[in-house]
Amino acid sequence: MPIRDAVKGDIDDICSMIEEHARYEGNDELHLDREEMTHHLFGPEPKAWVLIAEVDGEAAGLAFCSWNFSTWEAKPGIWLDDLFVRPQYRRSGLGRQLLLELKARTDGRVEWDMQEGNEKAAAFYADLGAEPVPGWVRYRWRS
């Protein structure tokens, strides 16, 4: 079950998995523009990057990430925007492998959001040693 950096040829699998994740979370309307996503991930100034988990040459999961920086720790870290494993590959260790690969890429922190009430994910993250951040509320400002 190799974990590797995504390449331009993975764009359809990347977008498909993000759309599958959206449907799993109840958003049936999400349809990504493959050309726009290719520009953001593989253009001259990439805005994010993706790890792909493969099983028998098939894209089975992904971690969609960008770099962040903690001023208080004075270290770069990783923001995990999306972690998804296709249903037929769940409970095979791919999510754990993707997260361990992210942690290996920084001596800073790896951070992400989790939807409230997702007890399975909370137990999975706790098993890895990850903890919720007490006392912080996420805000979002859109244009």
What is the tens place of the pLDDT at every residue in 5-59? 999 999 999 999 999 999 998 999 999 999 999 999 999 999 999 999 999 999 9
- Residue ranges per structural domain of the chain: 3-128
Which strands, in side-by-side order, build the sheet including 110-112? 3-5, 49-55, 58-70, 75-85, 110-112
pTM of the complete model: 0.91
Alpha-carbon separation of residue 33 from 14, 30, 84 (angstroms):
11, 10, 19
* CATH class of the region 3-128: alpha beta
